[in-house]
Amino acid sequence: MSSEEIKQEQASFDPAPDTAFVREKIKQKPINRRKLLRRTLFTVLTAVVFAVVATVTFLLLEPFISERLNSGKEVETEPAVSVIDFSESTEDEMLPEDMYATDKEMISEALQGNVSEVNQNIRDIEEMISGIEFGLEDYQKLYGDLRSLAEEVSNSLVTVKGVTEETDLLNNSYEDSDQVSGVIIADNGPSLLILVKDAGLTEADEMRVRFVDGSGARCNLMGRDEATGMLILGVSKSALSESTRALAVPASLGTSRSTTLKGTPVIALGSPIGIADSFAYGMVTSGAQQLYMTDADYTLITTDILGTESSSGVLVSLRGNVIGIIDNSYESDAAGNVVNAVGITELKPLIEDLSNVEDRAYLGIKAMDITNEMEAEYGLPDGIYLRYIEIDSPAMNAGLQNGDVLVSVNGEEFNTYHDFILWLSKEAPETTVTVSLMRPSVDRYVPIEAEVTLGSISYIPEDE
């Protein structure tokens, strides 16, 4: 083919050929809803599983991450203030009378066993006891054990000083101080709480506490009871070294309500002879003397330990539990210069109120238990005998009189003044109660009821 023919053929070529035969209509594919739902659920489930795994991983690793991030940094937060309550935490002591078997138990044991065998056992025990020799080394060990116990409990004791700035005749300033032994009774979180007898401390410019390791800190007055002169002082734990905080622990409070407290060996710690950091051994000579105060009933424990007017500190049982707060202000001339203490059991409700800075319900009575002899001689009914009604007290305003016998309050009967005081310590101020009384008439006692609105006693210091 010649070039001319090729040109003619290219000129006759149609650039827009008919392509209709290759056109195709695209039809949209229908959606599979079931498959779409499965894919959606799978995606959601995967997201949930991922979230759970991430949360668990964070919780497990967070302490380690925080420790690494905060290593070398000490972050201290102020502990929350906890409520002081001795009703559950106090360790119960085995009272002396609990150590003896009753006649009924002894008879039952003898009946169950062979009487001759029991008698032989008794003879064997007597023979063993008679062969025991107690020498000087045994005495030394005994007193060594007592000293170790005293030193252990002394970790809970402190010396409180009331410091006042004075000026002499030459206009030179100096510090005048009074000191009293106290005891750490609780830890409320931010502070250690100290119970101490007021001996001019509240009249000082400031109060300082010295712990058993010799370290000291300032303290603040949290509460004061006018009737007993007991104080609760607070010492911020942040002002104490770590070693002092580990050493200065609250004392264990025992019980002073025992019918056989008399004759029990005790240790007097603190300043029993008027000298700080001293202690003495002795025995309880009496534990039945009652100190009847307004809306209060305390037991006075007397000992054969020689003391002074300035004696202070605590009485401790041989189990290391505090059973009394030394206080010689109630000492009688007949007793002489011996160490006395107010029983801890009756003080516990007061200590709780002082520590928690709570107001206390106030009735305004001084009362006493009615003994069998009083019932027989004077024909007194069951209840508690009202010896004195305070002037302008809620009791006087409600019509209660000296010589009345308080039988019950709101239907709850009382046979001892101590039980009544425990009830009153749990009541809220401004509560109205119904008091049932028996009032002496010409030849008999007549029942009387009175509506009484309880008052309030505040333990918060006036300058707070």
The CATH number of residue 425's host domain is 2.30.42.10
The reply to whether 430 falls in a domain is yes
Contact 224, 311 (CB under 8 A): no
Nearest to 369 by CA among 417, 414, 412, 409: 417
Residues 335 and 279 in one domain: yes
Contact 231, 198 (CB under 8 A): yes
Residues 449 and 366 in one domain: yes
* Three-class secondary structure of residue 119 per DSSP: helix
Contact 240, 247 (CB under 8 A): no
**Environment class of 197 (CB within 10 Å of its CB; exposed 0-12, middle 13-18, buried 19+):** buried
Domain end call among 326, 347, 368: 347
The reply to whether 422 falls in a domain is yes
Q: Which residues contact 457 (CB under 8 A, 6 or more apart)?
A: 295, 359, 360, 361, 362, 429
The reply to whether 130 falls in a domain is no
Residues 364 and 448 in one domain: yes
Domain end call among 347, 374, 402: 347
Residues 383 and 446 in one domain: yes
- Count how many domains the chain has: 2
pLDDT beneath 70, residues of the chain = 1-78, 87-118, 129, 131, 167-177, 259, 331-336, 460-464
Residues 391 and 331 in one domain: no
Residues 389 and 318 in one domain: no
Whole-prediction pTM: 0.72
Residues 340 and 364 in one domain: no
The reply to whether 355 falls in a domain is no
The first and second tokens of residue 94, run together, are 């085995």
Dist. CA 164–CA 306, nearest whole Å: 30
Residues 325 and 273 in one domain: yes
The first and second tokens of residue 233, run together, are 């002082």
Residues 315 and 343 in one domain: yes
**Environment class of 192 (CB within 10 Å of its CB; exposed 0-12, middle 13-18, buried 19+):** buried
| Confidence at residue 132, expressed as pLDDT on a 0 to 100 scale | 73
| Confidence at residue 262, expressed as pLDDT on a 0 to 100 scale | 87
Residues 335 and 270 in one domain: yes
Nearest to 249 by CA among 152, 132, 169: 152
Residues 446 and 416 in one domain: yes
Taking CA 163 as the corner, what is the angle to CA 160 and CA 165, rounded to the nearest 5 degrees?
A: 175
| Confidence at residue 325, expressed as pLDDT on a 0 to 100 scale | 96
Which structural domain range is residue 271 located in? Answer: 265-347
Dist. CA 345–CA 443, nearest whole Å: 39
| Confidence at residue 249, expressed as pLDDT on a 0 to 100 scale | 94
- Directed axis angle between helix 103-112 and helix 115-130, to 10°? 120
The reply to whether 398 falls in a domain is yes
| Confidence at residue 89, expressed as pLDDT on a 0 to 100 scale | 47
Residues 402 and 375 in one domain: yes
| Confidence at residue 28, expressed as pLDDT on a 0 to 100 scale | 47
Strand ranges (E), 294-431: 296-306, 312-316, 322-326, 338-343, 360-362, 365-369, 384-389, 405-409, 412-413
Contact 452, 427 (CB under 8 A): no
The reply to whether 443 falls in a domain is yes
The reply to whether 281 falls in a domain is yes
The reply to whether 41 falls in a domain is no
